[in-house]
Amino acid sequence: MMTRSRPARLHHIAGIGVDRMGSIADASGKDFLRLENLDTDILPDPEAIARTVRAATEDADNSYLPFIGQARLRDIAARHVSAISGVSYSGERNCVISAGGLSGILNVLLATIEVGDEVIVTDPTYAGLINRVRLAGGVPRFVPFVFEPGGEWRLDRAALRASIGPKTTAMLLMSPSMPSGGCLDAADWAVVAELCVAHDLLLIVDTAMERLVFDGRPVLHPAGLPGMAERTVTVGSSAKELRMIGWRVGWIVAPDAFMPDLVAVSLANVVVPVGIGQDAVATALENSATTLAPYVDELQARRDCVLEELRGLPVGVPGGGWSLLLRVSDFGLDGAAMSERLLEQGVCATAMAGWGETHGGQYIRFVYANEPTRRLRALGARVRVALGL
């Protein structure tokens, strides 16, 4: 029998938990309230679906070529990031397509950080992002998002300043953040920009939910702030904003200086997603200027429904995104125990272990993007029974 040691880069890779909970619910045959996974029951743009169907019958789309992504998608993605950030990008010079947003994040990390470099992330943060920092050889440095029960999440700016050390080379930030829905406001981004410029840090922005913001919040992108255009790499995705999860298409938009290494890593890793999905995503992204608003309104209605159901419990109010967190440690529980209790009540929800340094185990996550409000209204009573209230 072969003897082998586990690679060091895998020693701290955390399980995500979503797959286990989904398998339990799928195998049960029961009508669980499905709040465990970042899926949505809201269909993508019909025009994008029709374009996908057509692409499956066209020879030109049955291809990996071009290896950096189809020209129309690269152009539309670059224009999209330009419009939001105020920085002028070119699809030809500044964009490469990735096989989903997380694949894009890993490619950026592989192209920009050395083994042992520290990368600042928020706590809590999606375990998949933390895992990719570690796979690339980086060391995550956690900066807390905090909240008072019933209040919004806020970035601990003092902790952000204190987190920068001699090995810090990058920040990897997402707003709205996953899984909390915490949003960075203009003052937060100003501090981020100040620190990145002062310490010569790279900023990697995960924009998977950038426009999914509630309560009239503006869409903010830091690349246009002073000194940031040259040091900001943007990674976008079709999954959340365009509701095209199964298409697995993402894009990386970056300054000219980063592009040769980003392309090199992309060609050595997954290359691009299949051609069948790329132009459909281009269509959905181009149309999203008009199709996004009703979808965001629906997400906000679902968030508001869940907040009403959980009124009086220690919940951080998400400023956007697909999910929110309940702090079950206030009741002497961790997320794993609460997840098991909720299964008994017909609710499938994911524990947060591994989704941060100190915050993860304290929470259970509820994804409200995959259930309509008429079903979400059953949540509050079930949660309270699970908590023993």
Block residue for tokens 């794993």: 336
pLDDT value at residue 19: 60
Supply φ then ψ for residue 245, to 5 degrees: -65, -45
> What is the rounded distance in angstroms from the CA atom of residue 190 to the CA atom of residue 207?
17
Block residue for tokens 């105020």: 86
Burial-class residue 281 by CB neighbours within 10 Å (0-12, 13-18, 19+): buried
Listed in sequence order, the residues at least 6 apart from 99 whose beta carbon sits closer than 8 Å to its beta carbon are 248, 249, 250, 270, 271, 272, 273
> What is the rounded distance in angstroms from the CA atom of residue 18 to the CA atom of residue 29?
18
Helices (H), ranges, the chain: 18-28, 46-55, 71-85, 91-94, 101-112, 127-135, 157-162, 186-199, 259-268, 275-309, 335-344, 373-376, 379-387
> What is the rounded distance in angstroms from the CA atom of residue 367 to the CA atom of residue 306?
10
> What is the rounded distance in angstroms from the CA atom of residue 256 to the CA atom of residue 369?
36
pLDDT value at residue 371: 96
pLDDT value at residue 161: 97
Write out the chain's pLDDT in tens, 389 residues.
667 777 777 767 666 566 666 667 667 677 789 898 878 999 999 999 999 999 999 999 998 899 999 999 999 999 999 999 999 999 999 999 999 999 999 999 999 999 999 999 999 999 899 999 999 999 999 999 999 988 999 999 999 999 999 999 999 999 999 999 999 999 999 999 999 999 999 999 999 999 999 999 999 999 999 999 999 999 999 999 999 999 999 999 999 999 999 999 999 998 899 899 999 999 999 999 999 999 999 999 999 999 999 999 999 999 999 999 999 999 999 988 999 999 999 999 988 877 888 776 899 999 999 999 999 999 999 999 999 98
The count of other CB atoms within 10 Å of the CB of residue 226 is 9
Q: Do residues 349 and 342 make contact, with C-beta atoms less than 8 angstroms apart?
A: yes
CB-hemisphere CA count at 13 Å for 251? 30
Type and span of the H or E element at 121: strand 118-123
> What is the rounded distance in angstroms from the CA atom of residue 50 to the CA atom of residue 239?
17
pLDDT value at residue 284: 98
pLDDT value at residue 62: 92
Choose among 34, 126, 19, 18: nearest CA to 343. Answer: 34
Q: Tell me how many helices (H) and strands (E) the chain has.
A: 13, 14
Going by their DSSP bridges, the two strands 202-206 and 232-237 should be labelled as parallel
DSSP state of 354: T
Q: DSSP letters along 313-327, please? A: S-EEBPSBSSEEEEE
Distance set, CA 318 to CA 15, 99, 147, 367 (Å): 24, 28, 10, 11
